[in-house]
A and B are shown apart, each in its own frame.
Chain A
Amino acid sequence: MTESIPALELRGISKRFGAVQALSEVDFSVGQGEVVALVGDNGAGKSTLVKVMSGIYEPDEGEYRFGGEVVNVKGPQFAADLGVATVYQDLALADNLDVVGNLFLGHELTSPGPQLDETGMEHRAHELLSTLSTTIPSIRTEVASLSGGQRQQVAIARSLLGDPKVVLLDEPTAALGVPQTRQVLDLILRLKDRGLGVVVITHNMADAFEVADRIHVLYLGRGNGDFQAADATREDVVGAITGLRTNGKASA
């Protein structure tokens, strides 16, 4: 499952904002074909860690390794070019455009000249969405008329157009109903089948246990346990999140 060299690895990452130590010496990794859930209470540093991975924040200390090589990530575009795609919580879809328009937004195919190659884009969109078995009714539907789960699927599918190695999902099931959460979790498993490394930030323990191979807990900006989902119990993980246990040991 996890290969010897992780697709993306962070070692000893620290990040400080003024007086606030957001992250201190965090180690994190995700392998190819592995789903890692990143959990923690509000303010535990999940978002900061994801922003370090997606290149928005530069860490004060620590190593960013991609495919085993130390890289100096300068900005989100650099991370994206490297093969780290990020799907944000607020989705960033344009409601007034159809599914194809959103999938290719900013990277439209053109031919001939500056004219949009609608046929080519629709063709690729079809291929992509059918290999992902998404539940989107028609790719010419305006995104405004899709359900929350379908919108999330569009957002995730869009991140795959750049052929990433690692996909970061920020709260992909927040505010979704049960069947829609199901659709998104299924999609995450299909990303894993494609050999992608997937990092899922979530508040939802059930989701974490359902899709993740590993569950990585952050507590007050520090790593506080890395559990194999198959072996861990919910109590272990919740204990680590709330700080009742630190690094596997019960604390006072």
Chain B
Amino acid sequence: MSATAVDVEPLPTSPKDFFRRFTQGEFGSLRVLIILAVIWVIFTIANDRFLTALNLTNLTLQIAATGMISIGVVLVLLLGEIDLSIGIVSGLCAAIMAVLSVKHGWSPVLALIVGILAGTGIGLFQGFIHTKFGIPSFVVTLAGLLGWQGALLWVLGDTGTININDKFIVDLMATFLSDVIGWVIAVALIAVYAVLALRGRMLRVKAGLEAPPVSVIIVRVVAIAIPVIATIWVVNQDRGLPLALVILVGFVVFFDYITQRTRFGRHIYAVGGNEEAARRAGINTGAIRIAVFALASTLAACGGMLAASRLLAVNQSTGGSDLLLLAIAGPVIAGTSLFGGRGRVWSALLGALVIGSISNGMDLLALNSDVKYMVTGAVLLGAVVIDAATSSKRRRAGRV
């Protein structure tokens, strides 16, 4: 979130420079914003209810759970690994929470914490098997996908479906903050970003390093301020800022900070980029891997809690169906590489927005699942083809 972290991609010097670097796959988040804009324009033309405050607020609620799970997917993808169990783990952990709080009468907070910790434990276990025995993560988590599905059925027992009516759990998705609080959060976010950016610049100037001019920082602050203000303005026309959105964006910002600005995050990128280099540099690559798998399952569990809160129930198909595939497709559409080392946590949010928008728009048009899946598949394919084409162009340019 701090200014220096984004300096890796220096601003273009001219429109020509911008175009050259854009076609070489830089500014990846801009590409997904264009995809998103196209989708929104199409649906707005097709149905005038798409761009209403009510629908956009619903959209944020629809993407909250998938987006949360996708944060963990990004971390795993940064290693160049895959976790196929995250969907079902989200369902299993939600089921554990529901059984403990509804059937056993535990306090909902405690049940929620135990459910999330169960996710952490699953991740630690899978990460340990993967690193200790050198088994590809694909296979370990494929076994997990099957095994935890069984565990989910077992936890639910004969009941099959558990309805959740506890206020604390339900409120996760049903709480909307007042207009004033929404604006306070918006102003605070923008102010913190501006202060960090200016402080980063000051430190660089003090250290005698090349620093971005103040005008560039102003552009960056405005670039952050516009979507923040627009979001608050839109949701305030409806029920207000959804707590779920605050939770999701909060997690994204936190994990973006972890990956970009801490030693642990740097080591995740290093292991994904060149594991041998990381090992020789003295990094405990096994520990990094286990930690990432633990985080991915923990985040999946958190996503499961949000999904349960939205559905007001946990049943045998919770965490199944297309949840896993959409949670992986999102970050990939938004530019996170499947081969490790490249991508940002933000792609979880942006990817969830793209997929959520397609699904939401199709529902408004009353189209069936068949079209929805085909379009989502086409967008995924298109995004990765663009990514492959641009990065091979970059490689060619880089080697000259």
Contact = CB atoms under 8 A, between A and B. Distances in A.
A92 B276 contact: yes
Contacts of B203: 119
Contacts of B341: 94-96
Closest 4 CB pairs of A and B: A106-B281, A145-B398, A96-B341, A94-B273
Contacts of B399: 145, 147
Interface of A: 77, 88, 90-98, 101-102, 105-108, 110, 114-116, 118-120, 122-123, 126, 140, 142, 144-147
Given A94-B278, A96-B341, A126-B209, A116 B261 contact: yes
24 contacts: A77-B282, A92-B276, A92-B281, A93-B277, A94-B274, A95-B274, A96-B341, A96-B342, A97-B266, A97-B270, A97-B273, A101-B269, A105-B277, A106-B267, A106-B282, A110-B262, A115-B262, A116-B261, A119-B209, A140-B10, A142-B8, A144-B395, A144-B398, A145-B398
B193 interface: no
B281 to A, nearest CB: 3
Contact of A94 (B7, B209, B277): B277
Contacts of A114: 262-264
A152 to B, nearest CB: 14
Nearest to A155: B277
Of residues B262, B281, B282, B394, which shows the largest number of chain A Cβ atoms within 10 Å of its Cβ?
B281
B279 to A, nearest CB: 9
Interface string B257-292: 000011110110110111011101111000000000
Contact of B204 (A96, A98, A119, A147): A119
Contacts of A118: 4-5
B366 interface: no
B262 A116 contact: yes
A110 B263 contact: yes
A119 B211 CA distance: 10
Given A106-B282, A118-B5, A144-B395, A95 B262 contact: no
B280 A92 contact: yes
Contacts of A97: 266, 269-270, 273
B266 A116 contact: yes
Contacts of B264: 114
Nearest to A125: B209
Contacts of A107: 281-282
A98 B209 contact: no
A245 to B, nearest CB: 38
A119 B266 CA distance: 15
A181 to B, nearest CB: 17
Given A95-B273, A110-B262, 8 more contacts: A77-B282, A92-B276, A92-B280, A93-B274, A94-B341, A96-B272, A105-B266, A108-B263
B207 interface: yes
A106 B282 CA distance: 6
B398 A119 contact: no
Contacts of A105: 266, 270, 277-278, 281, 283
A119 B4 contact: yes
Interface string B374-400: 000000000000000000001101110
A106 B273 contact: no
A145 B10 CA distance: 15
B208 interface: yes
Interface in B201-248: 203-204, 207-209
